[in-house]
Chain A
Amino acid sequence: MDFGLSEEQDLLQRSAREFLAQECSPQFVRALLDDEQGFSPALHRKMAELGWTGLLVPEKFGGLGLGLLDMALLLEEMGRAVAPGPFLFSSALATFALMRGGSSAQKKAWLPRLASGEAIATLAFLEASDRLDAAGITLKARKKRNGYLLSGTKMFVPFAAVADVFVVAVRTRGKGEKGVSLALVERDAPGLTIQPLDIFDRTRRVYEVQFKETPIAGFLGKEGKGWKLLAQLQDLACVGLSADSLGGAQQALDMAVEYTKVREQFNRPIASFQALKHMAAEMVSEIEPARSLVWYAAYAFDSRASDASRAASVAKARLSEVYTRTTNKAVQMHGGIGFTWEHDMHFWFKRAKWNEFAFGAAAYHRERIAHFDGY
């Protein structure tokens, strides 16, 4: 029985923290807020050089062949840095979809390029209905002589503007889980257009993606059998987002505590006031136990434990709320300055809200827990 990180994992996390402090400072994040795509090719390249983009990719495709727990440690640090960019969606979600669902030709075509950072992928899952279940997948893929064509719209697709390839959840028949397929669509496929959606978290750009008689580059796995993998991708996303939230919450707490130690009112540091101490202590008392939820959910995913989906929901339900509560308190502990555009705290405050709703908010996952636990 051992529920702790290995030396290598400790080292990975520490070096990620140091790297991001250097390469993805709040000033860097701020500069990217005004970038058209919210993406830094230079940062992406550096992360690729460290092997991060290939962290999950098997060694024979040029990756490190590590697991979600290792990935979660990286994502925690990216959450701490509110790192902008498609990393979670490309290097975790879409990459995993290719690893699990791809044919050997598809893997050979994409995994080495994704691992090296040369290509970026994303996941096109949601539609206007914002549903997370199989019934929400209505984008039709119709069979034609030369393959399948897509016509319709996907919503809230992360970083579509920089993606070379899309993993698109489509419907090839039926209404429920049967008939959901995962299609691979290349960026330059005819009829594919993207429209940015103006959102408040500018570190997490999302797009409306339209398909008009757009040919697909094949299915990941069998046609009509994509739901199982898509459900697994949702679990993966929940763990990844929870890790991001954990790191972000920790950073918001650290910043707030630091600020209260230097800010003086009534001739003393405001950190000496119990009202603020107790807020900080409450943040700690939520964050510390939640860390173990992220670890367990990642471990359960990696070891294909029977409760892996439940663990993902438990982590997502808890971290969604903990991150939001923590950043809310952190803003308040900063007082007026925390409410300004000029101060960095709003980066985390907004990211918390993005993470909270993506792939199911807390209430949605609590209902799932109820199902898993048989009531």
Chain B
Amino acid sequence: MDLTYSKEDESFRQTVRTWLKANVPKKDKTLSDLPPNDPQRIQRAKDWQRRLYEAGYVALGWPQAYGGQGDTDIMRQTIVNEELVLARAPGLIGASGLTMLGPTLLQVGSEEQKQRYLPTVLNAEEIWCQGYSEPGSGSDLASLRTKAELVGDEFIVNGQKVWTSGAQFSDWMFCLVRTDPDAPKHRGISYILIDMKTPGITVRPLVQMTGDAGFNEVFFEDVRVPRENLVGELNQGWLVANATLFHERNMLGSTTRTQLMLQNLIRLARSQSRYGQPAAEDPIIRQQLADLTTRVEAMKYHSFRQLTDATRGRQPGIGAMVNKLVGTELNHDICALALEIMNSYAPLNRRASHVIDNGIWPYEFMFTLGLIIGGGTSQIQKNIISERGLGMPKAR
């Protein structure tokens, strides 16, 4: 055990940090007042990812043949992730393509698919959205009913997807569709790539409790998709999606964001007066802050441990299965305490007078609740941990 970084890693970190300092886009008040889907904002987000990519800091591990860096050093990937958070850099607009589609194509895509799609995922020329959930298929994703009939060399797609983040500005969707209605539910699904400009697609924004319209309903009416857009084998889509659905290692570096949130929370507690004294002097608030600290520290070292396992080439064990459950609930609990500290000021919206920290806390309080649900609810996570991790039998 040795928590010091090698000279090479330290100097790489310095290089990344210096580049980010010079290049992270400054907050632009006129832009941030625009709705999140405003074309100007989208373009700016694309520009940011492209510049980060050109600097060599996007998806380091992807092979050079498809525009990647071919740098499989997990430590450097983690350093980039950490520094992005520390520099308070905006998130990447192409995240779905980078974390979900890309790894899937790299694993099971055809050579043509990899060459066609991966380079534009990296430089944000094309943005992808994920077409998984449906109104009737949430936690029971494999029951999905959006139908794709193979007619000649085309799929004809009919049905509806929901909770589709970014569909309104996405160029493509990677989508799970039912291609064999008679097979057992897991064995009649295919994974296809749909051009969002194809006739028959309607995107309808869904407003979240935060007031943002971050995700959408997507309707398909006789949408024609070329057969070559099938990824993997016909009716093997469930396996294709699952190959990367639980990319636990994507969590690496994400605890940095939680650490930053905790720092901001402690700053808030020290500056905010509550019932006549600084919140940080209230014994109960102190206990809660320190309790969150122990949980954040645990996740920090837990991620170090997984990082070490990964660099040693070990398979992630049961420890990695808890990342999503613990991480999302921890983030939400941090925000919940922030609201408690802010008390009467907690419900103030971003534009309200007297608002604290630009209203980020109530916004994040709601947003992080969404993350507890999205990508497999906490309850589903607990099923995964107990069934796959502990070998407890499925309910009959």
A318 to B391: give the CA distance in the assembly, Å: 27
A1 to B379: give the CA distance in the assembly, Å: 34
Whether the pair A269, B289 counts as a contact (CB closer than 8 A) is no
Interface residues of B in 353-396 (CB under 8 A from A): 379, 381-383, 385-387, 389-396
Contact of B286 among A271, A285, A366 (CB under 8 A): A366
CB-defined contacts of A317 to chain B, threshold 8 Å: 290-291, 294
CB-defined contacts of B382 to chain A, threshold 8 Å: 274, 277-278, 281-282, 285
Whether the pair A274, B395 counts as a contact (CB closer than 8 A) is yes
Does A272 touch B at the CB level, under 8 Å? yes
Query: Chain B nearest CB: distance from A252 CB in Å?
Result: 13
CB-defined contacts of B385 to chain A, threshold 8 Å: 280-281, 284-285
Contact of B326 among A273, A289, A369 (CB under 8 A): A289
Q: A272-B392, A278-B379 are in contact. Are A2 and B1 (CB under 8 A)?
A: yes
Interface residues of A in 273-296 (CB under 8 A from B): 273-274, 276-278, 280-282, 284-285, 288-293, 295-296
Which single residue of chain B is at the shortest CB-CB distance from A4?
B308
Which single residue of chain B is at the shortest CB-CB distance from A363?
B287
Q: A289-B322, A293-B297, A317-B294 are in contact. Are A278 and B280 (CB under 8 A)?
A: no
Whether the pair A2, B308 counts as a contact (CB closer than 8 A) is yes
Query: Chain B nearest CB: distance from A70 CB in Å?
Result: 11
In the complex, how many residue pairs between chain A and chain B have their CB atoms under 8 Å apart?
161
A282 to B381: give the CA distance in the assembly, Å: 10
Q: Considering only CB atoms and an 8 Å cut-off, how many residues of chain A contact the other chain?
A: 46
Whether the pair B3, A3 counts as a contact (CB closer than 8 A) is yes
CB-defined contacts of B289 to chain A, threshold 8 Å: 370, 375
Q: A292-B302, A295-B1, A295-B301 are in contact. Are A277 and B293 (CB under 8 A)?
A: no
Does A299 touch B at the CB level, under 8 Å? yes
Q: A289-B302, A299-B3, A369-B290 are in contact. Are A269 and B308 (CB under 8 A)?
A: no
CB-defined contacts of B307 to chain A, threshold 8 Å: 1, 3
Does B298 touch A at the CB level, under 8 Å? yes
Does B192 touch A at the CB level, under 8 Å? no
Does A268 touch B at the CB level, under 8 Å? yes
Contact of B312 among A4, A274, A288, A291 (CB under 8 A): A4
A299 to B3: give the CA distance in the assembly, Å: 9
A35 to B293: give the CA distance in the assembly, Å: 42
- Partner-B contacts on A (CB < 8 A): 1-6, 69, 257, 260-261, 268-269, 271-274, 276-278, 280-282, 284-285, 288-293, 295-296, 299, 311, 314, 317-318, 362-363, 365-367, 369-370, 373, 375
Contacts A311-B297, A373-B266 given; 8 further ones with Cβ under 8 A?
A: A1-B9, A2-B2, A4-B1, A257-B391, A285-B382, A289-B301, A295-B1, A375-B281
16 contacts between A and B (CB under 8 A): A1-B2, A1-B4, A3-B305, A3-B308, A274-B382, A280-B385, A281-B385, A285-B326, A289-B295, A292-B302, A295-B1, A366-B286, A366-B290, A366-B291, A375-B281, A375-B289
